[in-house]
Amino acid sequence: MKVRHQSRGRQATAAGLRAVAACLDREPARERLIEYLHAIQDRHGCLTHDHLLALAERLAVAPVAVFETASFYHHFDVVEDEASAPPALTIRVCTSISCCMHGGEDLLQALKAELEPAIRIQAVPCVGRCAEAPVAVIGQRPLAHADVSIVQQAVEEGIVHDEAPVHAVTYTAYRENGGYGLLRRLQEASPDTRDGIIATLRDARLRGLGGAGFPLARKWDIVRQQPAPRLLAVNIDEGEPGTFKDRHLLQIDPHRFIEGMLIAAEVVGVEKIYIYLRDEYAGIRALLRRELTDLLDDPPCALPPIELRRGAGAYICGEESAMLESIEGKRGMPRLRPPYIAEHGLFGRPTLEHN
C-alpha cells in the first residue's frame, strides 16, 4: 500500500500563512473564525483562496468549513487571487424603502456613471440610518443625506473609517452620575433579591418586542433554572428597514445599556456575555470597544467577561439561533427546535438571548 506523504488538494502558500498569522490571536480559536475573516479582509481588502486555505490550516479545520462560512456572509469578498480582487474602495448605496423615497436609486446610478470602474458601487439593503436618507457608505464611513458632490468630496478626503460618536456618555461621566450603582447594590443584596426582581418583572407583565411577546420574567427564570455555566448573548444585528433604535440609544448612552445587560446577567447567573453587533455600525463598534475597555480596566464591582463580536451582513442572523451559530464561527443558519437555546444554546450551554 502506498503511503501518502502530502495532503490532498490545494495547499496554502508560505506567503498566505504569513499574511494570515499577522491577523490572528496568539492562540487562535475556531469560534473566532468570523473575527479572523474580518481582520484579514480589513487588512488586504478581500479574502483570497490562499488566505482561506492558510486560515483553515492555522485553525486545524477542513478548508470547506472556512470557505462555506466566508461565502455565506455578504460583507466578505472571496476571490480566487489578488489579481481578481475588487477595487480598493467600495461605496455602498442604501436602496431600502426610506432611501429610495429620498432618491437612493438615482444616487446609485449617478455614482455608477461618475466613479465606476475605479471604485466599486454597490446597492445594499437598509444600513440602519433611515432618518438620514439617502445614505451612502464609503468604506465604513456613512454619509448622511448623500448626493454625488458629498460622496466625491469624501472620496477625495480619503476618510473611509467611521469614528466613535462624540456625544456619547463616557464611562467616567456615567460613574460620576451614579452609574452602576444598581448593579453594585444587587451584588451586595441577599440571593432573595433576585427572586424579587423576577417577581417584579412578572407583575409588570413586561414582554419582548420581537414579535412573539414572550414574558420576560419567564424567559429569565427558565434560563436561571438551568445548570451552570450559563451565557448571555445580546443581539444588536438590527436589520429590518426602518429599525435603528439600538444604534440611536448606544450612540447617546452606551453604559445605560451595558448596566442593564449586566443586571440581567447578575439575576440569571451568567458566566460570560457576548455582544453581537451589526457590521454596518462601525462607529458604534469603536465606541463599545473603548467604553468596554474602560469598564473592564476599572470595574465598579465583579463583572463577567464580555466579548464583542462583529456581524458580517447576514440578515438572517437577527434570528436568535442563527446569531448563536455566527458567534460560534459558522454560517448563520437557524437551528431546529427543540432543543431551545435556553437549554442548549451558545456552545451547548443554557443561553439567555436578548435583542
Between 1.10.10.1590, 2.40.50.140, 1.10.760.10, 3.40.50.300, what CATH number should domain 14-84 receive?
Answer: 1.10.10.1590
Q: Which CATH class is domain 90-157?
A: alpha beta
Q: What does the pLDDT read at residue 4?
A: 53
pLDDT given at position 242 = 83
pLDDT for 210: 67
pLDDT of 141 reads 97
Backbone region of residue 335 per phi and psi (left: phi > 0; alpha: psi in -120 to 50; beta: other values): beta
The domain at 171-354 falls in which architecture? Answer: 3-Layer(aba) Sandwich (3.40)
Query: Which pLDDT tens digit goes with each residue over 194-250?
Result: 999 999 999 999 987 766 788 999 999 999 999 999 999 999 998 888 889 999 999
Please identify every stretch of the chain with a pLDDT value under 50, giving residue numbers as ranges: 5
The pTM is what?
Answer: 0.94
Beta carbons within 8 Å of 243's beta carbon, 6+ residues apart: 126, 128, 130
Model confidence pLDDT, tens digit, residues 281-328: 999 999 999 999 999 999 999 999 999 999 999 999 989 999 999 999
**pLDDT of 7:** 63
Q: What is the dihedral of CA 4, 8, 12, 14, to 10 degrees?
A: 20
Instruction: State the Cα angle at 95 between 93 and 100, rounded to 5°.
Output: 115
Q: What is the pLDDT of residue 152?
A: 96
Residue 211: the pLDDT is 62
* Residue 72 half-sphere exposure toward CB, CA atoms < 13 A: 23
The answer to whether the CB of 73 falls within 8 A of the CB of 314 is yes
Listed by start position, the domains of the chain span 14-84, 90-157, 171-354
